[in-house]
Structure 1
């Protein structure tokens, strides 16, 4: 292959990667809408999310008490659907314990605790919205404009089981999530008239990382994280920096 062919191939590869990245940016809200919570599973999902917040174990008997009696015979299939929903929708797994009895651990995969932001009948749409916003911020390059987040809110509002009053949504994002440290909402430097943008807050950085968010997004999308080299390299760089900082902290203590 001569230089011109090599250059053309490199440009084509770069263009394909850019196209894939652009498509991902545009499709994040749609990709993360694929988890469907039906009428038979919503109560159990809400119950498990509250259990997760409280860091409590859950038993099969408790779960059977939540679902309708008519669905008890179909519980194994129902539980499979709920577990998939918890995993893909909220980054949480429900795993049976290696001990006598039907007892389960509720395990964080994404790392987010969600404490302090939910606790009522809006638990599903609130957590759902938080995950989508954090993902959009990451995919967009670590920040997202007010307009972009408003479009995300508009998109999610149209989904079943994902809505709550319009005023409450924006207050939840700009006040509650900021107060809890999940988001930072700031004026874009040197912008006039003033424009505002969202970034990950300190609590998000403490509870999760870019690699976990990328892996979660790709799990929902049934893709390999390496399919998005730019995001994967960014997440991997953060992991390496974090590991180096931890090593330096250990060395300082010795």
Structure 2
């Protein structure tokens, strides 16, 4: 939890990167249309209504019809990244689509409700923003990012219900997020960090891949974050190696003893 400690210059660079992410999504007209299509897809999904190409074309308007393939690509990618739902065409002749649940983390475990929708994609996006902000993001920064995705505090969402409860309580109780008061803040401010279960079930490289996809880039496009993600992989590999050493030593002990005794007969 102390990984977030940084100097003013590093913090400023992190803030600039996160701000650039939200601005790039807001300003891109095709991304705005993709957001509209995404809302359309989610609405159809929750109402169990068919998703048609004509319906999506009506949403984006005649002016952007020629850009439909790219808009649909962006919308389907964001639906998958943020909501864990994959868009598939089920009837090519009539251009009818459906959304299919995809699970990547154990967020949905213990749910017997078939209507429970995946939250893994949203969690990965949250972990990514926290990582981008130097492993510690303020509550204001989190909500600013979520607002770009149409998710607002206190406003019920068609997929996630009341998002504040989901983020500050549900995901915290499950160990995926750490939500704490900023030390010595007056009035009290709050911040998010990765929870222990997030460290156990995913990696910085995986969440960096999500961040990169959101911006149509590759992980190495963010050199500082990419280097940190690589260090994280090395550290994890080292810890796994240390954990295996006692087991391997214990397993090989009888073999060494047998070899010694046989050589001294």
Deviations 1:155-207 (A, max 9, x none): 43369xx9528992212211111111111111223445543211011121111
Question: Structure 1's 172 and 19: CA in aligned 2 closer, same or farther, altered over 3 A?
Answer: closer
**TM-score w.r.t. structure 1 length?**
0.59
Partner of 1:140: 133
Matched ranges for 1:32-51 at <5 A: 34=31, 36-37=37-38, 39=40
Structure 2 unaligned regions, length at least 5: 1-8, 54-68, 89-99, 249-265
1:143 and 1:117 mapped to 2: Cα distance? 29
How many residues get paired? Answer: 199
Structure 1 unaligned regions, length at least 5: 1-14, 48-65, 72-76, 96-104
Contact 1:185-1:199 at 8 Å conserved across structures: yes
Deviations 1:40-93 (A, max 9, x none): 57656x79xxxxxxxxxxxxxxxxxx774988xxxxx9xx96974564445677
2:52 and 2:130 mapped to 1: Cα distance? 43
Larger Rg: 2
Partner of 1:211: 205
Matched ranges for 1:100-179 at <5 A: 111-116=104-109, 123=117, 129-157=122-150, 164=157, 168-179=162-173
Please, which of 205, 225, 230 is the counterpart of residue 231 of structure 1? 225
How far off is 1:225 after superposition? 1.4
Contact 1:129-1:156 at 8 Å conserved across structures: no
Partner of 1:60: none
2:129 and 2:51 mapped to 1: Cα distance? 40
Partner of 2:20: 27
1:70 and 1:215 mapped to 2: Cα distance? 30
Secondary structure of the residue aligned to 2:38 is coil
How far off is 1:117 after superposition? 9.0
Contact 1:157-1:163 at 8 Å conserved across structures: no
Secondary structure of the residue aligned to 1:157 is coil
- Aligned Cα RMSD in Å? 4.4
1:93 and 1:236 mapped to 2: Cα distance? 28
Secondary structure of the residue aligned to 2:149 is helix
1:91 and 1:69 mapped to 2: Cα distance? 17
How far off is 1:151 after superposition? 2.6
